[in-house]
C-alpha cells in the first residue's frame, strides 16, 4: 500500500501555529498572573509542546524514506528542529516560573510577551508565504520584521538585566530573574534563527 504523501510546507505551518498558540497562551497567563494556577498553566502550555513534538517526529520519520523531498533534506531537518527550539524555549519559560517559585512578576514581563506574540505571528505569516518560492520579497520583509523584533528583544533584555542588578537587593530574586530573562532572550534568538534559515533556503530555491 502506498503511504500517504506528506506536505512538508503544511507541516511547517502547523509547527509555526503551535509556536503562535503557545506564545498567546503564555501571554494571557502573564497578563493575569496568578501563582496559584501555575501548575495548571504549565500543563496547558506543555500540552502544546507535546503536540509540536509529534509533528516534528512525523516530519523526520517521513523524511527518512522520502526519495525526492521538495527541498534539500538537510534544510527540512534544520527548519523542523529550529521550529521545535522556538516552542521548547517558550515552554521552558512557563516551567521556569513554576520551578523557581515566582510568586509575582516584574513589570517588564508584559513587554516581553507583547514582543513574543508579534514575533511568533510574523513567523507564522512567514511560513504561509514560504510555500511559494516566487514570493521572495514578501518573505524577506517578514524576515527583516522578525530580525527587528529580535533587536527590540535584545534591548529590552539589556535594560532588564541592568535594572535587576542595580535595583534588586534580594540575591535570590537576582538569580531567579537572570535565569528567566536569559530564557526569554533564547526565545527571541530561536525565532530569529528560524527566519534566517528560511531566508537562506528561499534564496537557494527561488
Quick one: how far is CA 69 from the chain centroid?
Answer: 25
Q: Across residues 166-173, what is the average pLDDT? A: 97
d(CA 117, CA 96): 19
Q: Across residues 2-10, what is the average pLDDT? A: 81
Asked if residue 121 has pLDDT above 80, the reply is yes
Determine contact, residues 73/63, Cβ cutoff 8 Å: yes
The three cell numbers of residue 92 are: 521552558
Of 118-127, 161-170, 195-204, the least confident: 195-204
pLDDT per position as a tens digit, 129-155: 988 777 788 889 999 999 999 999 999
Cα separations (Å) of 36 from 33, 102, 104?
9, 10, 11
Classify 68 as helix, strand or coil: coil
Domain ranges for the chain: 8-205
pLDDT of residue 3: 53
CATH architecture assigned to 8-205: Up-down Bundle (1.20)
How would you classify residue 37: left for phi > 0, otherwise alpha for psi between -120 and 50, otherwise beta? Answer: alpha
pLDDT of residue 203: 85
Amino acid at each position: 500500500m502506498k503511504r500517504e504523501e506528506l506536505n512538508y510546507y503544511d507541516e511547517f505551518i502547523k509547527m509555526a501555529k503551535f509556536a503562535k498558540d503557545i506564545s498567546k497562551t503564555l501571554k494571557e497567563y502573564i497578563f493575569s498572573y496568578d501563582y496559584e494556577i501555575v501548575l495548571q498553566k504549565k500543563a496547558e502550555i506543555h500540552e502544546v509542546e507535546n503536540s509540536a513534538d509529534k509533528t516534528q517526529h512525523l516530519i523526520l520519520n517521513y523524511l527518512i524514506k522520502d526519495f525526492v523531498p521538495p527541498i534539500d533534506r538537510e534544510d527540512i531537518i534544520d527548519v523542523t528542529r529550529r521550529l521545535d527550539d522556538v516552542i521548547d524555549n517558550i515552554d521552558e519559560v512557563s516551567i521556569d516560573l513554576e520551578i523557581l517559585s515566582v510568586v509575582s512578576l516584574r513589570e517588564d514581563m508584559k513587554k516581553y510577551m507583547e514582543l513574543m506574540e508579534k514575533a511568533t505571528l510574523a513567523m507564522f505569516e512567514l511560513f504561509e508565504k514560504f510555500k511559494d518560492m516566487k514570493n521572495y520579497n514578501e518573505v524577506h520583509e517578514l524576515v527583516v520584521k522578525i530580525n527587528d523584533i529580535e533587536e527590540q528583544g535584545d534591548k529590552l533584555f539589556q535594560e532588564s538585566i541592568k535594572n535587576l542588578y542595580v535595583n534588586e537587593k534580594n540575591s535570590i530574586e537576582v538569580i531567579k530573574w537572570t535565569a528567566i530573562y536569559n530564557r526569554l532572550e533564547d526565545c527571541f534568538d530561536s525565532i530569529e534563527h528560524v527566519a534566517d534559515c528560511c531566508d537562506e533556503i528561499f534564496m537557494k530555491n527561488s
